[in-house]
Structure 1
Amino acid sequence: MRPRPWTQAELSRLMDVRPCGQGRYLAPAHGSSERNVVEAGQLLADAVVAAAKEVPTQRVVSASMIFSRVVAHDAPLLVQLEVLRTGRTFSTVQAHIHQRGVLCCAGVVLLDAGAPDLISATAPMPAVDPPDRLRSLAIPGAVVAGRDMRVVDDAGNLDADTVGPPEINVWTRFQDAPDADYLHAALLTHSVAHWTVDAALRPHAGFGVGMAHSRISTGITMVTVTFHEEADVTDWLLYATRATYAGRGHAQSEGQVFTIDGRMVASYGVHAMVREFRAPDAAGRIAGDTLL
């Protein structure tokens, strides 16, 4: 069977989870895929959408999730929510994601009723080339029809011998406007975990993201995203990712999302695994990317 193509509409279909019982939401399967592993950003986006539907009177302002087991594209997902507290100002929702009856991810979502500014300030946007001076990313497996990504300084190339600072700046824009604010947030969330491993490997000659899943074992283990302002994903958004630590098989990054006019609309922190593949266990399994 030929893999289903990756498009903006397909990403929205996967992340627009549907209610299937009290506190339960179903995310459909994508189906056949060249690499049968669901990205961390997609899973976190599932939780963002589910929480937004569970508490529709408030806005998701932050979501955090730990990814302890690989999730496959070829089976649906169950997002199980527990509203830990609903208040006039904030609500807290716990999210568990299961596949084939097994818990794969666990997280928490914070929602807010909103308030006017008392004070207002943000970090400045990095001084980088605007998207109209950059070429679109065309790496096989990273192209989504309806999504345009442009990497500053060509920092996303797969050459293991090209080195640079531990940071990557990427402009991203979607073609079509989603019909709900929570889908704008979901599509924004999808990209926050893309660049941590790339940024962590970039200063080290002989290591590059093109080696991931083949010569080195990598995976996203935890993501937190905070939504500061409303964002329109059909406008250019800059994801500014900086690796702040690499060692002991781990990498950590922090990042911000900016509009083209310099407003910071979101920020994020990502923890990743970056290590050698382990030797097979007694059953012949190699843990590595499977996060066993």
Structure 2
Amino acid sequence: MKSVDDLLQLLRLEKVNDQQFKGFSKTVGSPNVFGGQVLAQAIHAASRTIHNQRVLHSMHSYFLEPGNLEVPIIYNVSIVRDGGSFSVRRVTAEQNGTTIFILSASFHRKEEGYNHQIEIKKDIKQPEDLLSWTDMLEQFGDAIPPRTKGFMLIDRPVEFKPVEVVNPFNKVDLPPATNVWFKLKGNVSGLDLVSKQQLLTYISDYNILAAAMNRHASKAHWGNTQTASLDHSMWYFRDFDFDDWLLYSIESPNTSNARGFAKGNIFTRDGKLIASVAQEGLMRPLK
């Protein structure tokens, strides 16, 4: 995938019936289905059953089994509730009759109320002053560890610019936090809110566990640690556009029992908080 059009095509599901949909997969460089893809496709399936113009405001999910890239994914949607203000959907994703993922999503009618948010970090480096993953490959490709380089070589519809670049050869523990600017490639004009939320959900599964890994960088890296998303939750606050860089600001409060926990906030460049994310992931040291 090289652009937002390719990603939108991946997220559009085939209708099997009114509450069942079929999706397909694209690799992001790992042997299993990317968690962000399943998240976004499940949100797409749930949204296809919403007919009262309510807007997604939160979702909570669990990854149960690794997804097979070669097998279609069937998304079954249960209509849990359509109340006066909220609609709730439950989605199960299956491959070959095995449930690999479950998600609950809540949709809310538009209402007026109180409004506040935390502020974006001050004095953070702007994307024009940073190298993208593509820039790093061009300038430092021979020095990047093979596994990381292989992951970075995959064509993506998103460009990432990390504010803090971790040197894998510098064995020093780092603060349990990371900040990454990101931007979609291609024409992003005319996207509706439903599509923007699905795209943002897809992107939210990138980079988040890096904050937990940073705290143990003196001994842990992607080559000697088994990692996988275990659960993923997201809250959607405000409408936004993809026409400029967005900032994903992530911190990790805890790692224990071979699991790492991280939470993140996603801001527009001018400081509008559009979503928050929380995830726990497997971080199992390999012997």
Q: How high is the TM-score relative to the length of structure 1?
A: 0.85
**One-letter amino acid of the structure 2 residue matched with residue 123 of structure 1:** I
Q: 2:119 aligns with which of 124, 131, 143?
A: 124
Shift of 1:145: 4.2
Q: 2:222 aligns with which of 210, 231, 235?
A: 210
Asked if 1:44 corresponds to 2:55, the answer is: no
Partner Cα separation in structure 2 for residue 84 and residue 20 of structure 1: 20
Partner Cα separation in structure 2 for residue 34 and residue 76 of structure 1: 18
Contact 1:48 1:182 in 2 (8 A): no
Shift of 1:28: 2.0
Shift of 1:104: 0.3
Residue 264 (structure 1) aligns with: 273
Counterpart mapping for 1:86-105 below 5 A: 86-105=82-101
Residue 82 (structure 1) aligns with: 78
Shift of 1:276: 2.8
Counterpart mapping for 1:177-256 below 5 A: 177=188, 179-211=191-223, 215-256=224-265
Q: How high is the TM-score relative to the length of structure 2?
A: 0.86
Per the alignment, do residues 234 and 16 of structure 1 end up closer, same or farther by CA in structure 2, a change over 3 Å counting?
Answer: farther
Q: Secondary structure at the match of 1:210?
A: coil
Q: Secondary structure at the match of 1:206?
A: coil
Partner Cα separation in structure 1 for residue 10 and residue 73 of structure 2: 10
Matched residue count: 268
Q: 1:170 aligns with which of 172, 177, 180?
A: 180
Show structure 1 runs of 5+ residues with no match.
279-292
Per the alignment, do residues 160 and 246 of structure 1 end up closer, same or farther by CA in structure 2, a change over 3 Å counting?
Answer: farther
**One-letter amino acid of the structure 1 residue matched with residue 73 of structure 2:** L
Partner Cα separation in structure 2 for residue 21 and residue 209 of structure 1: 44
Percent of residue pairs bearing the same amino acid type: 19
Shift of 1:162: 4.5
Per the alignment, do residues 97 and 141 of structure 1 end up closer, same or farther by CA in structure 2, a change over 3 Å counting?
Answer: same
Higher mean displacement: 7-16 or 97-106 = 7-16
Aligned alpha-carbon RMSD (Å): 2.1
Shift of 1:92: 0.6
Shift of 1:27: 0.9
Runs in 1 of length 4+ with deviation above 6 angstroms?
none
Partner Cα separation in structure 2 for residue 77 and residue 133 of structure 1: 40
Partner Cα separation in structure 2 for residue 160 and residue 38 of structure 1: 31
Partner Cα separation in structure 2 for residue 209 and residue 8 of structure 1: 30
Residue 147 (structure 1) aligns with: 158
Query: Could you report, residue by residue, the CA deviation over 1:197-247 in whole angstroms, capped at 9, with x for unpaired residues?
Result: 211121224334432xxx221100000011101122232110111011001
Partner Cα separation in structure 1 for residue 164 and residue 204 of structure 2: 19
Partner Cα separation in structure 1 for residue 115 and residue 155 of structure 2: 35
Contact 1:15 1:27 in 2 (8 A): yes
Residue 23 (structure 1) aligns with: 19
Query: Could you report, residue by residue, the CA deviation over 1:161-205 in whole angstroms, capped at 9, with x for unpaired residues?
Result: 243210110001113216432221111111222223211121224
Show structure 2 runs of 5+ residues with no match.
135-148
